[in-house]
Amino acid sequence: MLPMFRRECVQRYHWVTDEEMLDLYAISQCTPGIIAVNAATYIGFKERKVRGSISATLGVISPSVIIICIIAALLKQFIEYPIVQHAFAGIRVAVCAMLIMTAITVARKGIKNISGVVLFAGGFALACFTPIPLVLIVIIAGVIGFVLSRYSPGKPKTDQKEGQL
């Protein structure tokens, strides 16, 4: 759903930029609930305040709820058929491919220097090989990224205009 969400919100309607979308993904992962619902709620609020957030949330969840209810009603009758089992296997492959493409897109847009590569690799390793909660990993990476961007060598120490000390 995330690639479709990006296509609609960034490319088609220009409600958010790619950079804002990356931030939305990160924030949406840290908050309880489904990433796409959290992101849709935020974009809806940004565009039309409370009405927009309610509409966007309902717009994201309604089709899924309807489809899941229909499938659940019919699935019990057809789950044993090989064609249905093969269809689910194909769906799993398609979902994996879409997740990989989303990860590549996020990496291309979000990793801009060597510290970003190190931060990504460290976060990935922590997520895969330790029991540390993902929320904590994202928060730690965000703090480290902020500190690195704010206090890295070669950056001005103040936010004043150029030429002023």
pLDDT in tens, 118-154: 998 999 899 999 999 988 998 999 899 889 888 877 6
DSSP 161: P
> What is the pLDDT confidence band of residue 63, given thresholds at 50, 70 and 90?
very high
Helical pair 134-151 and 18-30, crossing angle rounded to 10 deg: 140
pLDDT given at position 79: 86
Q: Residue 128 belongs to what domain range?
A: 111-153
pLDDT band, very low/low/confident/very high, at 13 (cuts 50, 70, 90):
very high
70 and 115, same domain (yes or no): no
CB 28 within 8 A of CB 6: no
Count of domains observed in the chain: 2
Same domain? 57 vs 116: no
pLDDT band at 157 (very low <50, low <70, confident <90, very high): low
**Is 84 within a domain?**
no
Are 15 and 73 within one domain?
A: yes
Amino acid identity at 52: G
SS3 93: helix
- pTM over cut 0.75: no
Do 7 and 73 fall into the same domain?
yes
Say if 100 falls within a structural domain: no
Q: Is a pLDDT exceeding 80 seen at residue 49?
A: yes
Co-location of 125 and 65 in the same domain: no
Query: N- to C-terminal Cα distance for the chain?
Result: 48
In a domain, 147, yes or no: yes
Mean of pLDDT values over 75-81: 86
Establish if 83 belongs to a structural domain.
Answer: no
21 with 72, same domain: the answer is: yes
Distance CA 110, CA 117 (A): 10
Q: Is residue 11 part of a domain?
A: yes
Q: How confident is the model at residue 165 (pLDDT cuts 50, 70, 90)?
A: very low
